[in-house]
Structure 1
Amino acid sequence: MTILLTDIWTTENPTLFKAHFARSNGTEEPLECFVRDRNEWQGWQEFWPGRNDFNRAHIFSLMRFYHEPDTWLFGGIYDVLAFHGDRYDVALSAAGANFIGRMKIRYPYSDRTTRAYFEKHYSALEVQEILREAYTGRRFPGYDDIDLSFNELEALVKNARPDWMAALESMKGIYLISDTLTNKRYVGSAYGDQGIWSRWCSYVGSGHGGNVELRALVTDPTLEYCRTNFRFALLEHRPSRTDDRIILEREGFWKRILLTRGVGGLNRN
């Protein structure tokens, strides 16, 4: 049985609201910004796109839940306090606070306009699910299906997702970092006392993990290049008791067949 938003959330005057259907800006998904830093997510409401779109008292904010089709995650009600010509001052309202990051909405919205008249959509918004806790990243998908943007990995690390930590912190393995701008790749490994989770945490901290070729790419301390271009995939995983020589041999194998040494790749050896 379908549950509409109007069934559980009564808004007497929806014309006081703009709906914000936040989607990727070409660099980042708002969902990962929300998970990583709530202040950063508020910045999506404060941004001025060159038009006075938030010209009403309130913003009903939603972010694309891009792992599932036609799904949006509720990001809060923001009160528009002022417009300064190049940005908005907003404040998070107490209204609907318990639903922030928990209420998933199903709605097939594909218009180019991301800041729409709320009353045109309010009655058709379907409540798909109320999560037990606020969303902190997607569930661990299994070792054979790990393909992460830097943004998503960063959000998982900063929230210390327990399922990802439990799966990866005691595992050795070989991983692939792809630079989607240059199409170059880097093959790395986690061995010794350092599991995959710890190794990937070092990339989130610095952007390059100490690797020479990656360090040359990551020159901005804001890690903007990483967030725009880097993707992480797990090629192999092995138990922590696996001899390090085997890990290094398998790392060499992947470097060889993926041609990551030399001018076509990001491995120096």
Structure 2
Amino acid sequence: MSILTDTYELHNGIQIPKVGFGTWQIPGGKDTYDAVSMALQAGYRHIDTAKAYRNEKSVGEAILDSNVDRENVFVTSKLPAATKSYDGAIADFRSTMKALNLSYLDLYLIHAPWPWGERGSTNYDAANVEVWKAMQDIYASGEVKAIGVSNFNDHDLQNILDHADVKPMVDQIRYFVGYTEPQTTKFAKDNGILVEAYSPLATGGILENLDIKKIADKYGVSVAQLALRFVLQNGVLPLPKATHEAHIADNTKLDFEISEADMDILNHLTSTDI
């Protein structure tokens, strides 16, 4: 349980639980409500959602219906990737808050530096600077305790830093054994930006890897537990997703230590090895 209540400190002093519960690809309604309810029951105190997931309402209901006080749950949501204007960002934030039915958010992220499907086809640097101004104003309002980005690489981060009054506190990226985005991760850490790992289990893709399983067996843990611990020992915050109670519980059992030698092996795996 301790790992779920241990925290990283964001550069503005806010404490964020070291392990979050992801809700990407969980349908809104009963599926999300039950998953978040089970996660809170299992001890998670950090829940991640997004407007694009279409499950914010169910996330908010599960939090408010739980026996955990709202102030003890760290809640993240995200601005849609296609929203690239100041006014659009403010409007989408308002709709997120209405859906969640919460009085404040702990963390609000720009979901991506480009609309989905347009990666690399158009330069959105100027639009991202405009959206970041909206994020800063939302932060200044006190309705959000921290702001950040998602899927931003080092160029995208530098673009924001060059124009920001408040620098991003988090960059949430795809990150797992064999795929750790070292350039982006180093840039973020060098600038005091916490890296969060979505899909830390490669959407289940590493669970059958025999080399990783051999290391997991050495510690008497599952591949999923090893993969999550790997993320933590790299100073990154994992956001595992699960919908079955047993998997939700298993993903909390991370109080073990991977040796330096095994971390070195895991850190040198590439996507072609997975």
Is the pair's TM-score, using the shorter chain for normalization, greater than 0.5? no
Return the structure number with greater helix share: 2
- Greater C-alpha Rg: 1
Task: Specify the TM-score bucket, using the shorter chain as the normaliser.
Answer: under 0.3
After TM superposition, the score normalised by the length of structure 2 is 0.26
After TM superposition, the score normalised by the length of structure 1 is 0.27
Return the structure number with greater strand share: 1
